[in-house]
């Protein structure tokens, strides 16, 4: 059984949050109808849109199909860590919505006001670089009242409705835990998670780097290349094969969630928690 595509939820959430419609969806691929604004933002068609505006015409935004496979017969854009369009979406998300303050929509009748718990949510990418590269999505939330940490937050909030103002007969609770302290806890959790992974990929990268370096040094010692060329090639080998892990924050925000929703999340987290939770 294939593992779920770690980038699919981000792409769907990105387009939905910017008014685009998912017009078809299957386990292996989905198609998005872009809005005019999103087409202009990510499709690199400035000449087309400039012409349409000058002619006072509306223009026709494109559709995008994303696929879980690189097989040509499947069609669409193969969605993986190196997909250029995926990185374009990341950059657009950063420029448009690096931070947010949103409130869960609660339909509360008159009576006792309902409290909304503050959650700090941070979305990012773990970049694994070396001989082989991969990216892993990260979505973590911390309740700023009692400190409960949750993983996979974007998946939990995917189908929820939020507004920029608090719903009637509800009120936001004042955070007990500071944002800086909560963020440091997230960093420590990610460091622990990374430390628990199998790092054979890094060992393989270092081994390959050592072999390539020895070969380069043999060329230099035999005077097949000069010092300048040797220095440049050595630096390029380090850049290409020396393993490292880097955390990139895509965006984050303060989300006020009803205590009922928060309680349901925590109960599910406790009952479903396996020993090797994914970020």
Domain edge (last residue) among 37, 65, 89 = 89
* Mean pLDDT score, 85-100: 72
Give yes or no: residues 43 and 63 share one domain: yes
Domain edge (last residue) among 43, 59, 89 = 89
pTM of the model: 0.60
pLDDT, tens only, 41-65: 899 888 889 888 888 888 899 999 9
Beta strands 99-104 and 244-258 are parallel
Q: Measured between alpha carbons, how far is 114 from 106 in angstroms, rounded to an integer?
A: 9
Give yes or no: residues 164 and 42 share one domain: no
Note down the domain range covering 173: 100-201+244-272
CA-wise closest residue to 124 among 13, 16, 277, 251: 251
Is 211 a domain residue? Answer: no
Half-sphere exposure (Cβ direction) of 168: Cα atoms closer than 13 Å: 5
Give yes or no: residues 49 and 175 share one domain: no
Better pLDDT: 120 or 231 = 120
Q: Is the pLDDT of residue 171 over 70?
A: yes
Three-state DSSP state, 151: strand
Domains: count for the chain: 2
Q: Is the pLDDT of residue 229 over 90?
A: no
Q: Is the pLDDT of residue 91 over 50?
A: yes
**Contact (Cβ atoms closer than 8 angstroms) between residue 89 and residue 14:** yes
* Mean pLDDT score, 138-146: 93
Task: Determine which of 82-86, 171-175, 180-184, 259-263 has the lowest per-residue pLDDT on average.
Answer: 82-86
Q: Measured between alpha carbons, how far is 257 from 106 in angstroms, rounded to an integer?
A: 9
Is 207 a domain residue? Answer: no
Which runs of E-coded beta strand occur in the chain? 21-25, 29-33, 63-67, 77-78, 99-104, 114-129, 134-143, 149-151, 162-163, 170-172, 244-258
Where is 48: in which H helix or E strand?
A: helix 46-54
* Beta-bridge mates of residue 163: 103
Q: What percent of the chain has pLDDT over 70?
A: 90
Domain edge (last residue) among 89, 122, 140 = 89
Give yes or no: residues 85 and 111 share one domain: no
Better pLDDT: 230 or 22 = 22
**Contact (Cβ atoms closer than 8 angstroms) between residue 263 and residue 156:** no
Q: Is the pLDDT of residue 250 over 50?
A: yes
Q: Is the pLDDT of residue 142 over 60?
A: yes
* Mean pLDDT score, 73-83: 76
DSSP for 85-147 reads HHHHHHHHHHHH-SEEEEEE-----SSSPEEEEEEEEEEEEEEEESSS-EEEEEEEEEETTT-
């Amino acid at each position: 059984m294939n593992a779920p595509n770690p980038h699919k939820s981000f792409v769907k959430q990105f387009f939905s949050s910017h008014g685009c419609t998912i017009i078809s969806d299957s386990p292996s691929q989905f198609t998005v109808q872009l809005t005019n604004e999103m087409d202009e933002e990510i499709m690199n068609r400035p000449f087309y849109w400039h012409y349409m505006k000058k002619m006072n015409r509306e223009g026709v935004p494109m559709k995008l199909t994303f696929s879980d496979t690189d097989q040509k017969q499947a069609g669409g854009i193969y969605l993986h860590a190196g997909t250029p369009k995926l990185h374009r979406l990341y950059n657009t998300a950063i420029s448009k919505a690096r931070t947010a303050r949103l409130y869960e929509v609660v339909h509360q009748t008159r009576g006792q006001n309902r409290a909304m718990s503050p959650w700090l949510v941070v979305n990012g990418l773990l970049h694994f670089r070396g001989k082989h590269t991969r990216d892993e999505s990260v979505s973590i939330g911390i309740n700023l009242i009692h400190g409960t940490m949750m993983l996979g937050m974007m998946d939990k909030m995917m189908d929820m409705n939020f507004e920029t103002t608090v719903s009637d007969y509800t009120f936001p609770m004042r955070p007990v835990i500071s944002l800086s302290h909560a963020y440091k806890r997230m960093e420590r959790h990610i460091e622990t998670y990374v430390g628990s992974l199998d790092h054979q990929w890094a060992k393989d990268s270092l081994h390959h780097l050592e072999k390539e370096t020895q070969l380069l040094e043999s060329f230099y010692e035999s005077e097949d290349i000069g010092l300048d060329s040797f220095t440049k090639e050595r630096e390029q080998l380090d850049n290409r094969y020396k393993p490292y892990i880097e955390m990139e924050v895509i965006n984050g925000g303060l989300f006020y969630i009803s205590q009922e929703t928060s309680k349901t999340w925590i109960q599910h987290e406790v009952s479903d928690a396996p020993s090797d939770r994914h970020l």
